[in-house]
């Protein structure tokens, strides 16, 4: 089915801004506000206010832990949308372009492997986006009986950000190739050679 026969584009094409990416931007803005607030807050225990000594939990990492989990979910969702567009580009039934964005698709896998990589990274992000903050395990002989596990959330978030960067790079690579075909031009000479 070519694009002129479709009633509407898929969500991954028509819900980018502001519905999905706008929501991701909102999540990023929220996380930034939490991190900035926490970076500028007092975390000493106890806190001293003149002669008053306050033993409280200002050091607790729950605000940042929840923010890391939230941003992990938002970026994973964004990456999932990007991967679906990558998949659409290599599918000639959806893109109207040569299969796998290569002229000699029977002899050449073209951009099939980059789509595999994007799918694998997206799946990895889906696994990594499971919240760490819900997995509190008591420590310090149960004195610290609710632990944020924020460091785990931050480490996972860092991996998700790296993976998302690679997924976006794959989309740009395939989009450049698709653009050459859609303008009636020849694809890059690098894709004409059989693989394997």
Residue-wise pLDDT tens digits, 141-165: 998 899 999 999 999 999 999 999 9
Distance CA(160)–CA(162), nearest Å, equals: 5
- The residue behind tokens 């898929």 is 10
Distance CA(28)–CA(32), nearest Å, equals: 6
Pair of tokens at residue 153 = 């959330």
Mean of pLDDT values over 108-131: 96
pLDDT at 189 over 80: no
Q: Does CATH place domain 61-191 in 1.20.200.10?
A: yes
Pair of tokens at residue 10 = 């898929």
Bond preceding residue 120 cis, omega within 30 of 0: no
Nearest to 81 by CA among 5, 20, 169, 147: 20
Identify the band that residue 185 occupies on the pLDDT scale cut at 50, 70 and 90.
low
Task: Show me where the domains of the chain are located.
Answer: 61-191
Which pLDDT does position 196 carry in this prediction? 46
Which pLDDT does position 57 carry in this prediction? 82
Which pLDDT does position 183 carry in this prediction? 74
Distance CA(21)–CA(190), nearest Å, equals: 33
Report the chain's mean pLDDT, rounded to a whole number.
Answer: 89
Mean of pLDDT values over 120-134: 97
Q: Taking the model in full, what pTM does it have?
A: 0.85
Which pLDDT does position 4 carry in this prediction? 56
**What is residue 141's DSSP assignment?**
T
* Count of other CB atoms within 10 angstroms of residue 73: 19
Mean of pLDDT values over 27-41: 96
């Amino acid at each position: 089915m070519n694009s002129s026969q479709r009633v509407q584009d898929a969500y991954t094409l028509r819900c980018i801004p502001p519905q999905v990416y706008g929501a991701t931007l909102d999540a990023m803005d929220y996380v930034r506000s939490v991190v900035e607030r926490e970076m500028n807050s007092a975390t000493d225990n106890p806190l001293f206010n003149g002669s008053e000594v306050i033993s409280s939990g200002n050091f607790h990492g729950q605000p940042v832990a929840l923010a890391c989990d939230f941003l992990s979910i938002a970026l994973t969702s964004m990456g999932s949308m990007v991967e679906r567009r990558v998949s659409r580009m290599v599918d000639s039934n959806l893109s109207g372009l040569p299969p796998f964005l290569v002229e000699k698709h029977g002899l050449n896998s073209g951009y099939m492997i980059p789509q595999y990589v994007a799918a694998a990274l997206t799946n990895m992000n889906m696994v990594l986006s499971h919240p760490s903050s819900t997995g509190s395990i008591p420590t310090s002989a149960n004195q610290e009986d609710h632990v944020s596990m924020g460091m785990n959330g931050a480490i996972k978030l860092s991996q998700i950000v790296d993976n998302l960067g690679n997924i976006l790079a794959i989309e740009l690579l395939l989009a450049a190739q698709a653009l050459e075909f859609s303008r009636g031009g020849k694809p890059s000479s690098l894709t004409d050679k059989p693989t394997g």
